[in-house]
Amino acid sequence: MLFAPVPVWASGVCAGLHTAGSRHVVYVPDNPLSHVLRKLRGDYTDVRTTLATREEEAFGIASGLYLGGVRPTVMLQSSGLGNSLNALTSLIVPYQIPMLIVISMRGDEGEWNAAQVPMGRAVRAICDAIGLPWAIAASPESTAETVQLVGQTAFGTRIPGVCLLPRRITVPPAKGVAR
Amino acid sequence: MTRLEATRALVTAIGDDAKTPIIASLGHPAYDLFAVRDRPANFYTWGSMGLASSIGLGLAMAQPDLRVFVLDGDGSLLMNLGSLATIGWVKPANLVVVVWDNGEYGTTGGQDTATKHGADLEAAARAMGFSATTTARTDAELSAALIRARTDAGPWMIVAKVQETAPAGKPPLDCVFIKQRFMAAIGHPEAGTS
């Protein structure tokens, strides 16, 4: 597992955020995102990564990075969006602090854990409600383009942008009979 | 000392260095900073309670040549104690976290905070790996700590025991104005604004 190849979708996320000019990723990890982190650390030595204890804290750190002239990316699992709302609505949106937000989805197609479903189902409605544009990566091969475009739009318009990575991409369905 | 007197000591210690950033927590810490000296390199938050030290950490990583001051409150820091662990891990030598510890939620009506009942924020910062920590109970102790913190390696945690007083002013309300003025003042104007 340690030497398993990095999935296409994860390499695409790295390429996309790098092309969008982001050089610092603040994150709270989840299982799929570990592939992105592995690729970043192996192949993108100019991208710094910082682990936050909580998603709201990650958004605070990313805001400080932007104030200092760095284009930040925040990576989190969809469950952490709930932890982030005060930072998003009372700092990042009103101060127009742009960042690229990459969300690894739970609770969508392929989910097995009922505790992940309510927030997973609510992610898009929450983003709409607080004024964050979002886009869904359509395939493993298109994550690079989607992440890049979301990032470019965010940093150009100063409106943070969200790229959703659905579970059917990050955790491909197992072949054979379902458990 | 009152929080206003402590704020004067901070502004005096920073002096005329127009590029030194101060990230101020919302409410009374920001109000007093504005009242003592409004300067473009003050970043006044109007929300996001608890995140001042996180914003400071991000800025300190982005700009290692700037000495970044964070002005937090005890109630606010208690809302985001995980930040101490992250700062202790990253160990930015240029970050100075100053906490106005009045033992109460001064902006919301004076309810007790946990620091009035034993919580020790300096000890917490030390336990989380801050390089330099102190608790100041007088103007003189605070000024001495701030002068050291301007040059000695951090991350610093300076807890100042202060008395709550009614704030004497309110910062500008336009968040984008605060941000753009701040970024220009610290030498990194926002793209498209200059």
Q: Which two tokens stand for residue B114?
A: 């946990």
**Which residues are B43's β-sheet partners?**
B23
What's the confidence (pLDDT) of residue B194? 73
Homologous superfamily (CATH) for B3-185: Thiamin diphosphate (ThDP)-binding fold, Pyr/PP domains (3.40.50.970)
What interface predicted TM-score (ipTM) does this complex get?
Answer: 0.97
Closest Cβ–Cβ partner in A66, A72, A91 for B51: A91
The terminus-to-terminus CA distance of chain A in angstroms comes to 23
**Element spanning B3, H or E:** helix B3-14
Shortest distance, CA A65 to any CA of chain B (angstroms): 4
**Closest to A69 (Cβ–Cβ): which among B23, B43, B188?**
B188
Residue B44, pLDDT above cutoff 60:
yes
Q: Which of A50, A57, A69 sits opposite B82 (nearest CB)?
A: A57
Quick check: B94 contacting A, CB < 8 Å? no
How much is the pLDDT for B70? 98
DSSP secondary structure string, chain A? -TTPPPPHHHHHHHHHHHHTT--EEEE---TTHHHHHHHHHHH-TT-EEEE-SSHHHHHHHHHHHHHTT--EEEEEEGGGHHHHHHHIIIIITTTT---EEEEE--SSTT---GGGHHHHHHHHHHHHHHT--EEE--SGGGHHHHHHHHHHHHHHHT--EEEEE-HHHHSPPPSSS--
Q: Is the dihedral of CA A94, A99, A100, A104 positive or negative?
A: negative
Instruction: Find the Cα–Cα–Cα–Cα dihedral B62, B26, B99, B122, rounded to 10°.
Output: -80
- Strand B95-101 and strand B68-73: the pairing is parallel
Range of lowest pLDDT (A76-90, A162-176, B49-63) = A162-176
Q: Residues B152-164: what's their mean pLDDT? A: 97
B48 touches chain A (CB under 8 A): yes
Helix (H) or strand (E) holding B182, with range, is: helix B175-185
Q: Read off the pLDDT of residues B173-187 as tens digits, 9 standing for 90 and up.
A: 999 999 999 999 999
CB atoms within 10 A of CB B78: 18
Q: Which of chain B's residues have a Cβ under 8 Å away from the Cβ of A87?
A: 48, 51
Q: Computed from CA positions of residues A117, A121, A124, A126, in that sequence, does the dihedral angle turn out positive or negative?
A: negative
Contact B47 A60 (CB under 8 A): no
Q: Is B173 an 8 Å CB contact of chain A?
A: no
Q: What is the pLDDT of residue A3?
A: 67
Whole-model pTM: value is 0.97
The verdict on a CB contact (< 8 Å) between A86 and B46 is no
- Is A171 within the bounds of a domain? no
What pLDDT shows up at residue B7? Answer: 97
**Amino acid letter, A61:** I
List pLDDT tens digits, range A97-107. 999 999 999 99
Region A149-153: mean pLDDT is 98
pLDDT at B13: 96
Confidence of residue A2 (pLDDT cuts 50, 70, 90): low
pLDDT in tens, A48-95: 999 999 999 999 999 999 999 999 999 999 999 999 999 999 999 999
Tens-place pLDDT, residues B102-153? 999 988 889 999 999 999 999 999 999 999 999 999 999 999 999 999 999 9
Look up tokens 């002239």; give the residue: A69
pLDDT of residue A178: 55
pLDDT score, position B66:
98
Per-domain boundaries in chain B: 3-185
- % of chain A with per-residue pLDDT over 70: 96
Structural domain of A90:
8-116+136-166
How high is the mean pLDDT of chain A? 95
pLDDT at A1: 52
Q: What is the pLDDT of residue A173?
A: 80
Write the CATH number for A20.
3.40.50.970
Whether A129 maps to a domain, the answer reads no
Spell out which residues of chain B touch residue A89, defining contact as CB-CB under 8 Å.
47
pLDDT at B92: 98
Q: Hey, are the CB atoms on A60 and B83 less than 8 Å from each other? A: yes
pLDDT tens per residue across span A10-45: 999 999 999 999 999 999 999 999 999 999 999 999
Q: How does residue A115 score in pLDDT terms, banded at 50, 70 and 90? A: very high
Cβ contact, residue pair B58, A48, below 8 Å? no
> How many separate domains does chain A show?
1
CB < 8 Å & 24+ apart, contacts of B162-166: B162/B1, B162/B2, B162/B3, B162/B5, B162/B6, B162/B100, B162/B101, B162/B102, B163/B1, B163/B2, B163/B3, B163/B102, B164/B2, B164/B3, B164/B28, B164/B102, B164/B104, B164/B106, B164/B110, B165/B2, B165/B3, B165/B4
Is A2 among the domain residues?
no
Range list of β-strands (E), chain B: 22-24, 42-44, 68-73, 95-101, 104-105, 111-112, 132-136, 156-161
Three-class DSSP category at B100? strand
B63–A contact, CB cutoff 8 A = yes
Q: What CA–CA distances, in Å, run from B177 to A59, A79, A96, B133, B172?
A: 20, 33, 10, 34, 8
Label residue A112 by pLDDT band (50, 70, 90).
Answer: very high
The pLDDT of residue B162: 97
Q: Chain A residues within 8 A (CB-CB) of chain B? A: 24, 26, 48, 50-54, 56-57, 59-70, 72, 86-87, 89-91, 94-97, 155
Total residue length of chain B: 194
Contacts of B183 in chain A (CB under 8 A): 67, 69
In 3D space, the residue among B144, B137, B175 whose CA is nearest the CA of residue B159 turns out to be: B137
